[in-house]
Amino acid sequence: MTEKNTAHRWRPADAADVGVIYDIQCISHALQPEAHDVLLERLLLCPQGCFVLENGGVVSGYVLSHPWVRRAPPPIDARLGAIPAEADAWYLHDLALLPGTRGSGAGAKISALLAEQARLAGYRTVALVSVNGSQGFWEGQGFSVCMDDALAAKLECYGGQAVYMERDLPGRGS
């Protein structure tokens, strides 16, 4: 499996990748796919937080992330309009890998890269909504569940297993 791990690489996503990002999320999130324009908007609002996983020129995963307000996850399949001025966390909107790529270490690698990017941008927290039974993976990346009744109500649109999670980051020089 080591050879497989070294062949995959994360690269910055661009607008031309939206079609394959859409296709992958239709496989990974078949019950709740988001529209092309929603995915494109995320990429355009924060290109430095969006990456695709490639192996030999074939995209097999993606991540979309951007600054956002803690404990206020945006609804799925909804345009944001803008990054809020009061954004106080780096929000990992979606990480999706095709089934053959899972277990390759690619998810852990991009999670660490985004945490460092968020820290360098001055954020002390990375937040996400865990879906599709991924809570254990995210706990392994240092995230903890932070749920209350208000968050549970906001997450109804995400599906039954959705939980809000956060990871605190060390400050600069820590």
**Is 34 in contact with 75 (CB distance < 8 Å)?**
no
Please state the pTM of the whole predicted model: 0.90
- For position 84, what pLDDT does the model report? 96
Average of pLDDT values for 141-160?
Answer: 87
DSSP 3-state of 126 = strand
Tally of CB atoms within 10 A around 66: 21
CA distance 53 to 59: 5
- Residues 93-121: pLDDT tens digits? 999 999 888 888 899 999 999 999 999 99
Average pLDDT over the chain reads 90
- Residues 19-45: pLDDT tens digits? 999 999 999 887 788 999 999 999 999
Exposure string over 68-98, b if 16+ CB within 10 A, otherwise e? bbbbbbbebeeebeeeeeebbbbbbbbbbbb
CA distance 15 to 162: 28
- For position 114, what pLDDT does the model report? 94
Pairing of strands 125-130, 89-97: parallel
- For position 3, what pLDDT does the model report? 39
